[in-house]
Amino acid sequence: MNRCYNEENRTHGGTVRVFSTEGETMDNKMRLRKILRGLKKEYPEPKTALKFRTHFELLVATVLSAQTTDAQVNKVTEPLFRKYRSITDYAETDLDVLKKDVNSVNFYNNKAKNIQGSARMIIDSFKGKVPGTMEELLMLPGVARKTANIILSGAFGINEGIAVDTHVNRLANRLGLTRHEDPVKIEQDLMEITPKAEWGNLSHLLIFHGRKVCQARKPKHSDCVLYEICPSKDI
Ligand code: SF4
């Protein structure tokens, strides 16, 4: 069926004309290729800015990073990772002490509880090792698809999905790659048009570009390497 209709998407501070046709996926695949090419030139090392040494430390840093900048998380984890050397340290510490150790990040009460809960579950159910599948990671408290994708990609080199945070959400919409707000649907749209080998890279590249150029309030269109191909350059 050759569906073809136009629709207005009024999100992220502007109106973007989007198209839904059988050719839309093809168009988006081509645009995505250009986006990857352009962003890779700007950000040649697309990887997380979070600092970690072990799989569990990546989990801790990722849990702490929700609604918090990576720079702030790194400030907190530097002394934290010196103090807590193993998963057992997190599992056995007094929860109030752990809360105090991370209390300069947003929502530290819940984050500390989830970190300790994850440590205990990993010891009890996964022989003390951070599990390496989406299904198992989603069993850990406080771990949803975004965190699981970051851990799979960053710790295990597995591209199972695309981590969708607030930057990825905003840029995917502005760049016309999706018209959804729900992260799970955005992830599906992006997975459909992105080569699997690039899933981890795409997330990092959109995050870097969202922080530096395509910011939420005042996107710097004139400084943007994607200007020519972006359907939101007039917002
Ligand atoms: S042209 Fe503007 S809206 Fe489009 S990606 Fe660049 S900064 Fe964002």
Q: What is the pTM of this model?
A: 0.84
| 145 and 119, same domain (yes or no) | yes
What is the rounded average pLDDT of the residues 26-31? 88
Distance CA 111, CA 118 (A): 10
Q: Quick check: CB of 219 below 6 Å from ligand 1? A: yes
More confident residue, 1 or 79: 79
CA of 13 to the centre of ligand 1 (A): 12
| 62 and 142, same domain (yes or no) | yes
| 59 and 151, same domain (yes or no) | yes
| 207 and 131, same domain (yes or no) | no
| 152 and 166, same domain (yes or no) | no
Would residue 234 count as lying in a domain? no
Distance CA 76, CA 200 (A): 25
pLDDT band at 22 (very low <50, low <70, confident <90, very high): low
| 122 and 181, same domain (yes or no) | no
What is the rounded average pLDDT of the residues 181-209? 96
pLDDT at 114 over 50: yes
Q: Quick check: CB of 224 below 6 Å from ligand 1? A: yes
| 194 and 209, same domain (yes or no) | yes
Catalytic residue of the set 146, 182, 220, 233: 146
Q: Quick check: CB of 211 below 6 Å from ligand 1? A: no
CA atoms within 13 A on the CB side of 131: 21
Q: Which of 99, 129, 156 is the last residue of a domain?
A: 156
Q: What is the pLDDT of residue 1?
A: 34
Distance CA 179, CA 226 (A): 19
The minimum-distance atom of ligand 1 relative to the CA of 213 is: 7
Report pLDDT digits (tens) over 210-223. Answer: 999 999 999 999 99
Report pLDDT digits (tens) over 92-106. Answer: 999 999 999 999 999
Q: Quick check: CB of 161 below 6 Å from ligand 1? A: no
Cα–Cα nearest to 143, from 123, 128, 122, 157: 122
The question of whether 146 is a catalytic residue gets the answer yes
Q: Which of 156, 179, 212 is the last residue of a domain?
A: 156
Q: What is the pLDDT of residue 109?
A: 98
More confident residue, 20 or 144: 144
Residue span of the structural domain in which 73 resides: 55-156
pLDDT band at 112 (very low <50, low <70, confident <90, very high): very high
Would residue 235 count as lying in a domain? no
The question of whether 165 is a catalytic residue gets the answer yes
Q: Which of 115, 130, 156 is the last residue of a domain?
A: 156
| 194 and 137, same domain (yes or no) | no
pLDDT band at 29 (very low <50, low <70, confident <90, very high): very high
Q: What is the dihedral of CA 148, 149, 150, 156, to 10 degrees?
A: 90
Q: Quick check: CB of 231 below 6 Å from ligand 1? A: no
Q: What is the pLDDT of residue 5?
A: 31
What's the structural domain count of the chain? 2
